[in-house]
């Protein structure tokens, strides 16, 4: 068990590698109740998120649709990354990281009154992520008969409330952090242990933070605090795709700073690395390129590829796809290659 | 409770030492150590002929979680590193006291300050 943002969390329940393979090949369940669910309500809630986050909630038109985004400070640094769900024009739900909960809430509470938005932290909800090619089928088997077809029909990055009877409600979303299909379920905390045990009995393997990290890294998904933070902006953290400049009238926090950075010319870029020598890449190791030094932001051993992989921030002019770089691993320079992310998606290795 | 065979000697840094018939010693990491590290994915073993002082780092074991140094329990010269760990680092997880040995060392003197199995278990209990 480790302390994770104030929560006691298992790194692994048994073998971390077996947990990882279960998710890639079958189904695994993660307790992600440490993540902070916040409901935002008010007639101007869309406008509030238009100001608050770097991606554009105007992309959200169908109820239940989710959007991944960064929440930036005025300097363009990342306060946190989050997922926001559009439920109706006066009700959005947002899920933020555990370790950033306090500062996120403080930041949001400073801005919300200007838009008449009420924020409610949903400490009553637990959250589990059930992930893997067989994950959805297993979850759907727990739902009341009359709601199974609509749960089955949920498109990727959509969520919906499902009535479980006796006034109980689950919010089921086709989202995740593994690169596999699956659901994330927000449900009353008191129901979570029983659901966990039922899914275990259906063959869904308990998986810990360790497997969560190797899975997300194979899927080349960023981890807040490692791959981006309040100093590193999203444009140099592989997250330019989540920043929407399309609507010139939308003055999101951090926009001016990012536009100034773009005008001045970005200095760094974010790349995926595959280690060609034997060893294991880890965060903070130095990357040596002809254009100067960079740094690994996240590195691990990929259980699916049985090779070491990493995300790294390097000088802008260095390291196109296919280029060789070197990484200082415990005093030795090992050879690595810049590859196209992600490494693994839907059970398949995408990098050779 | 982790396993620590009575016929071996131990260090506080979780290495085990087995004295072989020819006077050389076999060295690995304990069941407790492999369990704490989790699934091992990479082991860097020492080359034959390398001279070590007691306490020198002679190998690196890396699990999915972290890299960890392994220290020489006694001074001596490396006779052999366990080449099998190159392809099967998980041997340290599955059989830490057998196939998971890391090196054979020719000691340059009498080993000193090693713990018996009972002393090592007491050390683990004290470490919590």
Mean of the per-residue pLDDT values of chain B: 94
Nearest to B67 among A210, A278, A282 (CB): A282
Closest-approach residue (CA) in chain B for A211: B64
Chain B residue with CA closest to A215: the answer is: B64
User: What tokens does A156 get?
Assistant: 């990727």
Domain-located, residue A73: yes
Yes or no, beta carbons of A17 and B62 under 8 Å apart: no
A277 and A210 together in one domain: no
Does A233 map to a domain? no
Note whether A141 and A288 are same-domain residues: no
A321 belongs to a structural domain: yes
Tell whether A206 and A288 lie within a shared domain. no
Which CA distances in Å does B102 have to A266, B13, B51, B90? 47, 15, 15, 12
Q: DSSP for chain B?
A: -----TTSEE-TTSEEEEE-TTS-EEEEE-HHHHHHH-SEEEEEPPPTT-EE-TT-EEEEEEESS-EEEEE-SS-EEEEEE-THHHH-TTHHHH-TTTTT--EEEEESS---SPBPHHHHHHHHHHH-
pLDDT at residue number B1? 59
Q: What is the pLDDT of residues A132-152, one digit of tens each?
A: 999 999 999 999 999 999 999
At residue A82, the pLDDT reads 98
Alpha-carbon distances of B50 from A142, A333, B13, B77, rounded to whole Å: 60, 21, 21, 6
User: Is the pLDDT assigned to residue B127 strictly greater than 90?
Assistant: no
Residues A36 and A181 in one domain: yes
Q: Which of B39, B60, B64 is the closest to A330 by Cβ?
A: B60
Same structural domain, A211 and A278: no
A249 part of a folded domain: no
pLDDT mean over B49-72: 94
The CATH number of residue A317's host domain is 2.40.30.110
Cα–Cα distance measured from residue A64 to residue A8, given in angstroms and rounded to the nearest whole number:
31
CATH number at residue A164: 3.30.1360.120
- Sequence ranges of the domains in chain B: 9-110
B64 closest CB neighbour out of A214, A278, A279: A214
* CA nearest to B34 within chain A: A15
pLDDT tier at B112, thresholds 50, 70, 90 = confident
Is the pTM of the predicted complex or chain greater than 0.90?
Answer: yes
Inter-chain contact A278–B62, Cβ cutoff 8 Å? no
How many angstroms separate the Cα of A204 from the Cα of each of A214, B73, B112? Answer: 18, 43, 50
DSSP-based three-state secondary structure for A139: helix
With respect to residue A256, please indicate whether it lies within any of the assigned structural domains: no
Q: Are strands B40-44 and A66-72 parallel, antiparallel or unpaired?
A: unpaired
* pLDDT score recorded for residue B114: 95
Asked whether residue A254 is assigned to any structural domain, the reply reads: no
Q: At what angle do helices A45-52 and A101-111 cross, to 10 degrees?
A: 120
* Interface-testing mutation among A10, A276, A280, with chain B (most B C-beta atoms within 10 A): A280
Q: Which of A199, A215, A231 is the last residue of a domain?
A: A215
The pLDDT value given to residue A5: 79
Give the pLDDT score at B59.
96
Judge if A200 and A278 occupy the same domain: no
Distance from the A181 Cα atom to the nearest Cα atom in chain B, whole angstroms: 24
- A189 and A337: one domain? no
Q: Is residue A185 part of a domain?
A: yes
Residue B93 to chain A, least CA–CA distance (Å): 10
Residues of chain B with pLDDT > 90: what percent? 89
ipTM over 0.90: no
* Residue numbers of A between 13 and 32 with CB closer than 8 Å to B: 15-17
Residue whose tokens read 């959250």:
A127
Let me know if residue A227 belongs to a domain: no
| Regions in chain A scoring below 70 on pLDDT | none
The size of the A-B interface in CB pairs under 8 A is: 36
Pick from B39, B40, B66, B86 the residue to mutate for testing the A interface (most A CBs within 10 Å): B39
Domain with A323 in it: 267-352
Would you tell me which residues 7-46 of chain B have a C-beta closer than 8 angstroms to some C-beta of chain A? 38-39, 41-42, 44
Query: What is the CATH T-level fold of the domain B9-110, as seen in this structure?
Result: OB fold (Dihydrolipoamide Acetyltransferase, E2P) (2.40.50)
From the list A16, A279, A330, which residue is nearest B64 (CB)?
A16
pLDDT of residue A46: 98
- Inform me whether the C-beta atom of residue B57 falls under 8 Å from chain A C-beta atoms: no
A305 CB within 8 Å of a chain B CB: no
**Beta bridge pairs of residue B18:** B26
pLDDT tens, residue by residue, B34-56: 999 999 999 999 999 999 999 99
Domain count, chain A: 2
Question: Within this chain, do residues A290 and A202 fall inside the same structural domain, yes or no?
Answer: no
């Amino acid at each position: 068990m480790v302390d994770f943002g104030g929560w006691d969390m298992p790194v692994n329940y048994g073998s971390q590698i077996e947990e990882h393979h279960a998710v890639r090949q079958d189904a695994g369940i993660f307790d992600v109740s440490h993540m902070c669910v916040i409901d935002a309500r008010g007639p101007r809630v869309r406008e509030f998120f238009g100001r608050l986050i770097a991606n554009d909630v105007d992309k959200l038109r169908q109820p239940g649709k989710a959007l991944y985004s960064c929440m930036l400070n005025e300097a363009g640094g990342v306060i946190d990354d989050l997922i926001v769900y559009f439920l109706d024009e006066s009700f959005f739900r947002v899920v933020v990281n555990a370790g950033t909960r306090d500062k996120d809430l403080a930041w949001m509470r400073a801005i919300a009154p200007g838009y008449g938005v009420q924020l409610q932290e949903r400490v009553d909800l637990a959250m589990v992520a059930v992930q893997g090619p067989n994950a959805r089928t297993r979850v759907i088997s727990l739902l009341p008969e009359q709601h199974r077809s609509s749960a089955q029909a949920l498109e990727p990055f959509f969520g919906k409330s499902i009535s479980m009877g006796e006034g109980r409600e689950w919010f089921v979303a086709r989202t995740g952090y593994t690169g596999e299909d699956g659901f994330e379920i927000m449900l009353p905390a008191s129901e979570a242990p029983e659901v966990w045990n039922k899914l275990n009995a259906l063959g869904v393997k308990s998986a810990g933070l360790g497997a969560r990290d190797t899975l997300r890294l194979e899927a080349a998904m960023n981890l807040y605090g490692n791959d981006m933070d309040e100093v590193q902006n999203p444009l140099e953290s592989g997250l330019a795709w989540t920043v929407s400049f399309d609507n010139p009238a939308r003055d999101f926090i951090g926009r001016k700073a990012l536009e100034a950075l773009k005008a001045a010319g970005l200095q760094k870029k974010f790349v995926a690395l595959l280690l060609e020598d034997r060893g294991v890449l880890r965060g903070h190791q130095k990357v040596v390129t002809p254009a100067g030094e960079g740094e690994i932001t996240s590195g691990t051993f990929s259980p699916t590829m049985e090779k070491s992989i990493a995300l790294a921030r390097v000088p802008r002019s260095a390291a196109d796809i296919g280029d060789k770089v070197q990484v200082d691993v415990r005093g030795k320079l090992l050879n690595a290659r810049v590859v196209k992310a992600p490494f693994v998606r839907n059970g398949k290795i995408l990098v050779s | 409770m982790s396993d620590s065979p009575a016929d071996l000697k131990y260090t506080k840094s979780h290495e085990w030492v087995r004295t072989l018939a020819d006077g050389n010693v076999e060295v690995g990491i304990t069941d407790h150590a492999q369990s704490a590290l989790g699934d091992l994915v990479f082991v860097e073993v020492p080359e034959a002929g390398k001279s070590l002082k007691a306490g020198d780092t002679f190998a690196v074991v890396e699990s999915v979680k972290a890299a960890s140094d392994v220290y020489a329990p006694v001074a001596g010269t490396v006779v052999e590193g366990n080449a099998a760990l190159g392809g099967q680092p998980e041997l340290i997880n599955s059989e830490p006291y057998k196939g998971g040995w890391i090196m054979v060392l020719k000691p340059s003197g009498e080993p000193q300050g090693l713990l018996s199995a009972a002393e090592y278990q007491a050390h683990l209990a004290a470490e919590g």
